[in-house]
A and B are shown apart, each in its own frame.
Chain A
Amino acid sequence: MSQYVVGIDLGTTNSALSDVDLTAPPRHEQNTLAIPQLVAEGTVEERPVLPSFLYLPSAEEFPEGSLTLPWDRSSSVIVGEFARSHGMKVPGRLVASAKSWLSHAAMDRTAALLPWDASRDVARVSPVDASSRYLRHLAGAWDHARPDAPLGDQELVLTVPASFDAAARELTTKSAQHAGFRNVTLLEEPQAALYAWLELAGDGFRDQVQVGDVILVVDVGGGTTDFSLIAVTEREGDLQLTRVAVGDHILLGGDNMDLTLAHILNQELMEKGRQLDALQLNALTYGCRHAKELLFANPDLQKTPISIASRGSALVGGTIKTALTREALTRILIDGFMPIVPMTEMPRTARRTGLTQMGLPYAQDAGITRHLASFLTRQARALAAAHDAPVKLEGKSFVHPTAILFNGGVFKADVLKMRMLDVVSGWLAAEGGAPVKELQGADLDLSVARGAAYYGWVRHGHGIRIRGGTARAYYVGVESPMPAVPGFEPPVKALCVAPFGMEEGTHADVPPQEFALVVGEPTVFRFFASSVRREDNVGDMVEDAARSDELEEVSPIETTLQGESGKLVPVNLQAAVTEVGTLEIRCLEKGGPSRWNLELNVRERT
């Protein structure tokens, strides 16, 4: 039996770890482990979080013995703080935002892609490898501190964005396996944040929420924005928490905010004829973050000076000066990222060209409030059509949240919380609703890791558990039999194989359908997901899936059946949600004992 249950927040920019000792009775005790990491050549310091950065040094870049870690004398790569700080000076060897690549469906995520713009002599790594490196570093730090209870032997809860699809979840699990973790469960980050809140509130949580409440979790991380709706319901007199819906994947986070500030200040400097190099631009970004925090913390301050150090040793005289004003901060950050918009305003989507497919598909619209408006409206339509929706719509045009829980370092700024609360309350007032209230959360940097560990403890039968199952329905594509017409793609029908809300550890059999697999040849199914079609049952068919705006095509699934080549085997499909929290699609031989798992193909789509 494992002694600890450990929550791991594998973040886009920072990773953290928290644990609960299962043997310490009866009140649980949470620890967050300080993580030793290189901060300069030969220098190892403990930090509360591990920056999710990997640096791939060239052979003679650093002297021998300068990259050793207390638990790894022969380490040849750099993970963490030094990877980030040095990597800014050598961007072609720095792997960053591996997590965002993990969810990039148009790429082969097991291929050695990163660093994306590396030169030819750099031995690239795959997004899965990079994630696995961060996990291995955490394991090294843990095992060094607790040699009697290796991390690989503990119960692990690994968090993923709620918006991660089946393939990205599968890949996250894979990177954990590569790191030597055997006992892993996935948990959605907004849920982890709510668990952290539940832990903090203790039994008092019942005084803060009531039956009928709808909690909106707004999680703005370093690289992604994630929304979840959790309803407070009642069953046989007991309060229940049900995760009702999750938002789509939005590649937009706190890092974008600091970059935007730096970009605008840099333009002002360029107009004055001051040219910054890449490293100084990075210093400017860092300076902007610091100035932003100061301005947010001191409402009377009108501006904060920012100094950018010279590259050479002549610091005095070579330092470049600029300043962040409150006016600019409000205009760029608050109005730019959280504009006051009516509920009806939807995010702008620019049409992607072939070129923008290169690199990461960042959100086209920086307005987080517009993304939120779109989420609440879409989900209202979906819930209105559902027969047993846990949220009552009663003619409302969008889902009315009654409380907001904020998560992510961005919300250390009260101004941004206030803006978000104001905007949502404005929407509610327009439909005669009461203002939304804030649930006071825990530590914004560590709450996901803490909440994950607490969830692990809850799974042992303590406290309240959030229910919900899968937040998407899944479909396989079935091509309509049609004669080929040049330049015209035949419409694809989508057959529902896994309905919305499937619980972990359950499976669903697709009613008899005529599927025949050819033995010895790869069979590929197109695969679709929907976060709004709540009413589809297994076996239901959606017409013209590729053109439906309710369905999103995800990575295809495939298998190759071993056996006598060319033989046709009639099969039934079965979908299962594993205990880990990943989706499995299986083919069961009709009237026979054989069974094949279909693999999610995460390779590049052609």
Chain B
Amino acid sequence: MSRQMRFLERLKIAWQLLIDQTFAEKVQLALEKEKPAPERVHASGLMLLAALQREGRLIDFLRQDIAAFSDEEVGAAARIVHSGSRKVLEQFFAFEPAVKGQEGMLMSVPPGFDAQRIRLTGNVTGQPPFKGTLKHHGWFATTIRMPEFSDALDPRVIAPAEVELP
């Protein structure tokens, strides 16, 4: 009985392999024990790059050799990068300082402090509590609103080429 069941089960899978394209692809993927391609694993990272390029031309800016240009020319381009990239940041995230407090003020670091949020620098010896100066307040993303990206597209296309028709 159980042998026969197993046979029917196998027949069902074989049949599904024949008629169902996506099922067949899944089986093939499993057989090859293939890991998903990096662009699928990191699709949201690529999407962030695409948004920064689209709104702020960030890839253009960083890929260009700017050594030969004047500060004025770099500055003019930086305005585009700044205003566009800032829009993307505001759309996707909300930020607050990793710790509260004015930069330059003295603060105490208690025992059991959050070592991810607070990085100690300078003369790091002994046990907390420590007293120190807040040099940089750090950043913490309080909200993350990443857009939805269609599976049908290749996330490696950061920006399409533009061909203008006359």
Contact surface of A with B, Cβ cutoff 8 Å:
36, 39-46, 63-66, 68, 70, 89, 290, 305-307, 309, 311, 313-317, 319, 321
Contacts and interface: CB of A to CB of B under 8 A. Distances in A.
B152 A317 contact: no
Contacts of A43: 47, 50-51, 147-150
Contact of A64 (B54, B149, B152): B152
Contacts, number: 82
29 contacts: A40-B51, A42-B149, A42-B150, A44-B149, A45-B91, A45-B148, A65-B150, A65-B151, A66-B153, A68-B150, A89-B162, A290-B83, A306-B79, A307-B76, A307-B79, A309-B77, A309-B80, A313-B63, A313-B64, A315-B61, A315-B80, A316-B61, A316-B74, A317-B69, A317-B77, A319-B73, A319-B76, A319-B77, A319-B80
A10 to B, nearest CB: 24
B50 A40 contact: yes
A321 to B, nearest CB: 5
A66 B80 contact: no
B148 A315 contact: no
A305 B147 CA distance: 31
B60 interface: yes
Interface in B47-63: 47, 50-51, 54, 57, 60-61, 63
A122 B66 CA distance: 43
A305 B82 CA distance: 13
User: Most chain-A CB neighbours within 10 Å: which of B54, B64, B76, B153?
Assistant: B76
Main SS of the interface on chain A? Answer: loop
A40 B158 CA distance: 11
Contact of A315 (B60, B83, B162): B60
A63 to B, nearest CB: 6
Contacts of B150: 41-44, 65-66, 68
Contacts of B76: 305, 307, 319, 321
- Say which size band chain B's interface belongs to: 20 to 34
A290 B57 CA distance: 17
Contacts of B61: 315-316
Interface in B127-163: 145, 147-153, 160, 162
Given A45-B145, A315-B81, A316-B73, 9 more contacts: A36-B148, A42-B149, A63-B152, A68-B152, A307-B77, A307-B80, A315-B77, A319-B77, A321-B76
Contacts of A36: 148
B152 A313 contact: no
B64 A66 contact: no
A42 B91 CA distance: 17
A313 B91 contact: no
B68 to A, nearest CB: 8
B94 to A, nearest CB: 14
A478 B61 CA distance: 69
A319 B75 CA distance: 10
A76 to B, nearest CB: 14
B79 A316 contact: no
A64 B152 CA distance: 7
Counting from the closest, the 8 A-B pairs by CB-CB distance are A65-B152, A42-B150, A45-B147, A42-B153, A307-B79, A315-B60, A316-B77, A44-B148
B91 A316 contact: no
A45 B55 CA distance: 14
Contacts of A306: 79
B80 A65 contact: no
Contacts of B153: 41-42, 63, 65-66
Nearest to A306: B79
Nearest to B50: A40
A66 B152 contact: yes
Contacts of B145: 45-46
B58 to A, nearest CB: 9
Q: Indicate the member of A40, A64, A66, A68 with the most B CB atoms within 10 Å.
A: A40
Nearest to B145: A46
A44 B147 contact: yes
B39 to A, nearest CB: 13
Contacts of A89: 162
A44 B152 CA distance: 13
A317 B80 contact: no
A31 B91 CA distance: 20
Nearest to B61: A315
A43 B79 CA distance: 25
Contact of A39 (B69, B83, B147, B160): B147
Contact of A305 (B57, B73, B79): B79
